[in-house]
Chains A and B, each alone.
Chain A
Amino acid sequence: MQVTTEKLRRFLAAHGNSQTFLEQEVKGLLRELGIAVPSGVFIPAGEPVPSPHSLLFPLVAKAALPGVASKNDIGGVRLGIRDAAELSVAVAELEKIPVAAGVLVEEMARPGVEVIVGGAVDPQFGPIVMFGLGGLFVELFRDVAFAMAPLDRRAARRLVEATKGAVVLRGYRGKPPVDMESLLSVVVAVSELIGSGFIEEIDLNPVELYPDGALVVDAKMKRRSQESW
């Protein structure tokens, strides 16, 4: 908890007064906390596409948008980029989005079991953590569980297992079970970030779970304006 808070403090200090952060900034913080994120490069608006780069195709290119805008809603995402030529086209198109601060290019994540790990500040319980399986489970069935932050690994496991969808994580229809320990590390890290009192909301969505690890594919975070708690 202390280590996380310390790293978060430094991160916030480095980002001045901004309320929200760009995706690669949040991912940088996560990486510092030992959470896996895809390999990627950020290309600031107006700069040329660096080439050659060390990333492995296929790639994904995402417009980096400040504030609360959703990349998907404005066509800010290009998936399945196969070569350098396609990449140049994608980056050029995304840079035309007026508010884009640049383009984040990342390796495509392999498909795994998608989950959401989030944090928010609840009016009754203060900082809380949410866990749910991604996609339909969240959208349609609202199969999510909440707990008070911060959590130790045991409480994190209890949170994960409180969802009905948790059976999928244990291996379902011949599929191997996911790496529970990596998932718990993500849940604990999110719980410590929201539990610090400096963050209003954090959303890791989706997180891909594999038999041998967990990868945070998309990440959002918002600073708390009033540092209570």
Chain B
Amino acid sequence: MNSLDCLFKPRSIALIGASADEKRLGGVVSRNLRAFRGKFYPVNPNYTEIDEVPVYASIRDLPETVDLSVILRPAPEVPELLAAHAGKARCAIIVSAGFAETGCESLQQEVVRLGRELGIRLLGPNCLGVFAPYQRLDTLFLPRERLKRPKKGNVAVVSQSGALLLCLLETLAVSGRGVSLGVNYGNAADIDGADIYDYLAEDLETGVVISYLESMADGRRFVAAAEKLAQRKPLLILKAGKGESGQRAAYSHTGRLAGKYEVFSSIMRQSGIREVRDLDELLDAGHALARQRPSRGNRICIVTNAGGLGVLAADECARHGIEITPLPEAIRQRLHNCFPPFYSVANPIDLTGQVKDDEYLATLNEIQDEYDGFLVIAHTGVVGLTLRLAELLTVFRAASGKPLVAYLAPGGITDQLAKRLEKGEIPVYPSPERAVRGLSSLMNYGQGPCK
């Protein structure tokens, strides 16, 4: 299998179905591709130029062989258009819908056959293609006013569904997080999830992969690729279609119990591949893994100034099998001696409404060797807390090298404080429970399968 550089890092692109009309999909993609760093060749027999960029009547007319061609024409035209790609493109994204997903299996097979014959790798059909901010490559047919694009980052988003890709990209963009790549592979007639995992395992810009999956053609190849990728960088998979269970009439017990999802999930677990339960968890865990290195241990300490919020977090820890071990007696004593008597020096440690910035740091410094990770909860409405807290936590986190995430209760300085924490690579979550789930993705990482 060759590298998919021609798809994800192309130097030249053709757009079949370019348009000057920004109300049409071809117009939107034309506009998006004008920012592309390499050479861009719009193709459409009805134009000679679009915004002073020369337009070609056919891909045959291009002066060079392009790395990537994006085909944005109705499905029935695709075979003929693709046939014209002979010797003119290394790979192609078929955006067009109306293939196997609508029952037109034969049309899809014809396209696959053509791709093989011409030696052109195909993404799609029925897909949005690629968003690669490092190349300024954007084949999404949604205008930027309608869908915010995330900045450059280290998270790759791999989605079988187009809508899910958009949803994830928008969410990441709005929360100021960056991606290395976004890709929607649709019907996976040629390039599938496993191919993309293989590529991402080698991709230097990608540190974490979050992936939405509905089905796969070859489970064994998928597991092999996912296993290899997960050994190099965190991979989080959200599988849809969990309800399908093995109720078919079968000769044996095994056959009756072997629902598609149960089998998938069980095999993932034993292969050490992380599955998340829902969209929130996919984003929350991805958020943490994009910023911090996982820890091998499983013991955390919660430091809060709001008792109730600490208790909610502790409850969530229990649900995830994260240990909230009590403080060693010596540390308890030391903290007790330097704090007012009404601070609760247990785990969670409750620094109460009287807390000052420095007391968070003093506490963390005391406990840092005893725990594998930290959850800081702050109700920022109290007068003792200032934006300086972000600086203290950032410095502590960087020095300790251990996972630390935060939840800030809503309040006057919360937004600003959150921004500073995020800048200091400390993920901030919208609820204590989600903070725990984010932290949990960083805990116990090295233990491998079967946990």
- A-side residues, CB < 8 A to B, are 20, 68, 116, 118-120, 122-126, 128, 130, 132, 138, 142, 144-148, 155, 158-159, 161-162, 200-203, 205, 220, 222
Say if the beta carbon of B216 comes within 8 Å of chain A. yes
Other-chain contact of B449, A130, A158, A201 (Cβ < 8 Å)? A158
The number of residue pairs between A and B whose CB atoms lie closer than 8 Å in the complex comes to: 93
Residues of chain A within 8 A (CB-CB) of B269 are: 145, 162
Nearest CB of B to A82, in Å: 30
Kindly report which residue of chain A lies nearest to residue B258, judged by CB atoms. Answer: A120
- Contact: B253 with A116, CB < 8 Å? yes
A84 to B250 CA separation, bound complex (whole angstroms)? 37
Contacts of A200 in B (CB 8 A): 251
- B252 contacts the other chain (Cβ, under 8 Å)? yes
Bound Cα distance A202, B254 (Å): 8
In contact, A145 and B266 (Cβ under 8 angstroms): yes
The residue that B252 contacts in the complex, of A120, A124, A126, A132, with Cβ under 8 A, is: A120
Q: Is the CB of A130 within 8 A of B267?
A: no
Is there an interface contact between B257 and A144, defined as CB atoms closer than 8 Å?
Answer: yes
Q: Is B220 an interface residue (CB 8 A)?
A: yes
A-side contacts of B262, CB under 8 Å: 142, 144, 146
Q: Which DSSP category, helix, strand, loop or mixed, fits chain A's interface?
A: strand
With A124-B216, A162-B450 as given contacts, are A147 and B266 in contact (CB-CB < 8 Å)?
yes
Given contacts A124-B219, A147-B267, A147-B270, 19 further A-B contacts (CB under 8 A): A118-B255, A119-B254, A120-B250, A122-B219, A122-B260, A124-B215, A124-B260, A125-B219, A125-B220, A126-B219, A130-B257, A144-B257, A159-B270, A161-B450, A162-B266, A201-B251, A201-B254, A202-B252, A222-B252
Do residues A126 and B258 form an inter-chain contact, with CB atoms below 8 A?
no
Contact B220 A148 (CB under 8 A): yes
Chain A residues near B250 (CB, 8 Å)? Answer: 120, 201
Cβ-defined contact, B253 with A205, below 8 A: yes
Q: Is B396 an interface position by the 8 A CB rule?
A: no
> B449 touching A132 by the CB < 8 A rule?
no
Interfacial chain B residues near A118, Cβ < 8 Å: 252-255
Q: How far is the CA of A168 from the CA of B94 in the complex (A)?
A: 53
User: Are the C-beta atoms of A123 and B260 separated by less than 8 Å?
Assistant: yes
Q: From residue 166 to 224 of chain B, which have CB atoms closer than 8 A to chain A?
A: 215-216, 218-220, 223
Do the beta carbons of A146 and B252 come within 8 Å of each other? no
Q: List 5 A-B contacts (CB under 8 A).
A: A116-B253, A120-B250, A124-B216, A147-B270, A158-B450
